[in-house]
Structure 1
Amino acid sequence: MTNLYKLYTSFTRNGPAFLAITTKEWLIQQGKNLLKRLGFNFLTKGQTETYLQPFQIATEPGSTLRLPSVANESKPGKLIFTEKVVTFPPTFVWHVSAPGGKARQLVTGSMMLNHNVLKTDYRHRDLLKTYIRPRIRRKVGTETLLAPWSQVFDDMWFGGYYDFMLLVAAKICRIRESLPESVFSEAIVAYPLLGTSYERDFMNLIGLRDNQVVDSRLYNVTFSDCVLGNSNSWIYPNVADIQSLKRQVEARVSTTPSERQRIYISRAGRRRIRNEAELIVALKSLGFQIIEDKPRSIAEQVRLYKSASFIIGPHGASFTNIIWCEPGTYLFELFSPTYTPDYFLYLAQVMNLRYTAYSHGEADDRFGISDDMYVAVPELVNRLRTLLDTPIQTN
């Protein structure tokens, strides 16, 4: 009885959720085994990079970057982030010919070469779902296929502005800079589209026509050549990718010199400021412009962030746009005590920005990715007054 009890508690130690996850992973593994019997040979990321090495046309080395410790402006003497050194892996671009139809793009955007399913991004398991519920895809042909992404956006692990810009858009820019313009301008881009206005806006901005961008779940693209690249770190993207995205976008956005402004980035969804009305009154008294959370074109966001001297707001995807900021711009990031990722500390270091963080209250064991937050306005204003008196320095 004791052994049975131990077995039962081992399976239920985290309740039904643990059983659901265990069952899901088992089903995924069984699905992979089935696809292997159907001729799919799933490569790991390392195996993929080795397999594609003869087709490599561009690479940027990986490296490390030191992230400084960051004090909590709400609690003098306490840190939100401790100092650490992060690593970002190398990036690659591969140009593969497809003689005799031995290469094809799968529904998820993955490439299969001679029965080898490449792992250029993070996971294979999306393939299982698409083969359980197959659909007929319309055929379209092109000389060159660009395959920048091999997963389905699910709004759980991948989805949203940050993920699109740094995982897909940046990779498309990397690929573009590796190809002759005559090839890029006539190629078709295919992957499981996110379907957002900013995705369409980005494609139009870099010169891709609507008929050049198709959803791999709906279209079966036949091609003579395929160009693809790897994803590296999700949290700490290769610096070269960030710089490539910045170059390609800013080259296509006209800006005019203007007086730099202090801006507060509001949020309408999750992670809002609970006492935002009180905070806005205080920020206006310090000369801040209040930026509402509403759809904006990429060009508008470039101009907004490039014109900023000081940015404050709750942690959110809009801060992806700090890559357009001028060196020395200040980012003051507001956090819930239950969710403090360092994505934008990393971007701030890459872009040579100044960075400060604030979190009011005590943390607990929850993963509060959606938690709203409270700001003690008087203490925040006192700290802001000090920072706003500090001259902007650039290197």
Structure 2
Amino acid sequence: MTPKLRELTARGRVLMARTASQALLGPVSGGMPRVYVRSIAERMHEPRIARHVSESFTRTEAVVERYDFPVGFPPRFRRSKAFDERHAYRLHDVLLSPHSGLIWLPGGPVLEESYGSLIRSLGWGDVRHEPLLPVRRLAGRPVIAFAPTGYYHWLLEVLPAAVFALSVEPEALLLMPRSVPAHVLAAAEHLVGPSRIVRLDDIAHVDSCVLAAVEPMSGFVQRAEIDRLRAAFPADPADVDAVYVSRLKDSKRALSNEAEVERAMRQAGVTVVYAQDLSFEEQRGLFAGARTVIAPHGAGLANLVWAQRAEHVIEIFPDSWFNDCYARLSRNLGIDYDYVVASPVAPLDRLDALVNEGAGAGC
């Protein structure tokens, strides 16, 4: 077989797979990633897009934010991030998923800004099944998606988007599935009250909704979003000095020597907490009051967004895993940041030294 014939054969197999996918999944799901709108603002010249957009707003300005890590930190700790200008839109006659917040036009295409990233929608956050779910018409008042994603993404992506959308449409309803974690329901009731929460497992075909674009690069949080969250959810700081956010109750994510780390923290006078046992209000108060926060890498550290008194964060990375999202969040808030690596166990002597160092600095 010649190289050209091999290429044609490969292209033909891809075309057959795409055709089969569209036949099986329909024009919306089967059309991804070819049929989607990356930016509504860029496509407003197209009548099929423009007729669904009533108004657009600037959600956040374009900005470069810098994270001043110590010189000795390795280059994998990213020192800057350029954020594009992000928008929000008042839409009409669209379909909206209460499960993920994904929005698409009748018959397609998908509006990528509703979910943040095509990479996410086809990868770890695959939502191609959602256009195949039953559809229910939801007429009347404007709607805002309030999807119960994983805690980090809900707190730092979904929640600030909903807060901004409510500033555009203060009387809107919040749409979520029937079954949601307690913190999601508590936040929704804080924002709009129980009477304006719509719980639905079907896809909603709505007359009107507000889409506040989600940051496509997960893990990067603008300072403007932090300020927006803190203004919408004031916290009453708890009377606590240093806290260790344990993952002992999470067998899949706990450190291999989590129990030993807990004992060492208690001996050092550190309060050990389990984030999953705390209400949304209690988590806000705990992180608002703590001066030192020690924790394995995980969603509990997203609560640093509430920090008011924190002076020191110590993060424990599991072996062979690294993500600097909480390091950047700490520096964005002006909090000193240190880390240790569990290889494979968390080094108790290094942790103890860091905790004592923070205590000596008045943490």
TM-score tier after normalising by the smaller chain length: 0.7 to 0.9
Alpha-carbon distance in 2 for matches of 1:188, 1:37: 27
> In structure 1, the residue corresponding to 2:139 is in which secondary structure?
strand
- Asked whether 1:91 is paired with 2:74, we answer no
Residue 348 of structure 2: which of 352, 374, 377 is its match? Answer: 377
Q: Distance in 2 between matches of 1:65 and 1:138?
A: 42
Q: Is the 8 A contact 1:44 1:119 kept in 2?
A: yes
Q: What does residue range 285-364 of structure 1 map to in structure 2 within 5 Å? A: 285-361=267-343
Which AA in structure 1 matches 2:129? K
Q: Deviations over 1:72-104 (max 9, x none)?
A: xxxxx77484453222232222123x4xxxx22
After superposition, residues 95-134 of structure 1 pair within 5 angstroms as 95-96=90-91, 98=92, 103-107=93-97, 109-112=102-105, 116-120=109-113, 121=115, 122-123=117-118, 128-131=128-131, 133-134=132-133
Relative to the length of structure 2, the TM-score reads 0.77
**Cα 1:296/1:94, change in 2 over 3 Å:** same
- Residues 288 and 307 in structure 2, CA contact (< 8 A), matched pair in contact too: yes
Q: Which runs of 5+ in 2 are unaligned?
A: 45-49
Equivalent-residue separation in structure 2 for 1:194 and 1:38 (angstroms): 28
2:140 to 142, 145, 149: 142
Match of 2:213 in 1: 230
1:387 aligned to which of 355, 358, 363: 358
Q: How many angstroms does 1:134 deviate by? A: 4.2
1 CA distance for matches of 2:162 and 2:70? 33
Residue 259 of structure 1: CA displacement? 4.0
Distance 2:256 2:203 in 1: 45
> By how many angstroms is 1:294 displaced?
3.2
TM-score scaled by length of structure 1 = 0.72
Give the distance between the partners of 2:19 and 2:193, measured in 1 at CA: 36
Which runs of 5 or more structure 1 residues have no equivalent in the other structure? Answer: 12-21, 72-76, 154-158, 362-372
Q: Deviations over 1:183-212 (max 9, x none)?
A: x23x22336677222211211121242652
8 Å contact kept, 1:109–1:190? no
Instruction: Quote how far apart the aligned CAs of 1:129 are.
Output: 2.3
Q: Does 1:44 align with 2:15?
A: no
Name the counterpart of 1:35. Answer: 27
> Are 1:196 and 2:187 counterparts?
no
Find the counterpart in structure 1 of residue 224 from structure 2: 240
Give the aligned partner of residue 205 of structure 1.
Answer: 190
SS in 1 for 2:265: helix
The letter for the 2-side match of 1:231 is V
Give yes or no for contact 1:80–1:340 (8 Å, CA) kept in 2: no
CA distance in 1, matches of 2:271, 2:327: 23
Change in CA separation of 1:284 and 1:165 when aligned onto 2, cut-off 3 Å: same
CA RMSD, Structure 1 to Structure 2 (Å)? 3.7
The aligned amino acid for 2:183 is Y
TM-aligned CA distance change 1:299 to 1:258, over 3 Å: closer
Structure 1 counterpart of 2:274, one-letter code: E
- Report how far residue 352 of structure 1 moved: 1.8
The counterpart of 1:169, out of the listed 159, 164, 168, is 159
Q: Give 3-state SS (helix, strand or coil) of 1:55's partner.
A: strand
TM-superposed deviation, 1:161: 0.4
CA distance in 2, matches of 1:348, 1:39: 40
Structure with higher RCO (Cα < 8 A, 6+ apart): 1
State how far apart, in whole Å, the 1-side matches of 2:291 and 2:29 are: 58
Aligned-pair CA distance for 1:348: 0.9
Counterpart check, 1:61 vs 2:45: no
Distance 1:295 1:55, change over 3 A: same
* Post-superposition CA distance 1:313-352 (Å, at most 9, x none): 1111011111111154311000113111011012112222
How many pairs align? 333
Give aligned-pair identity as a percent. 17
- Contact 2:340 2:347 survives alignment (8 Å): no
The CA distance in 2 between the partners of 1:247 and 1:27, in whole Å, is: 47
The equivalent residue for 1:364 is none
Corresponding residue for residue 47 of structure 2: none
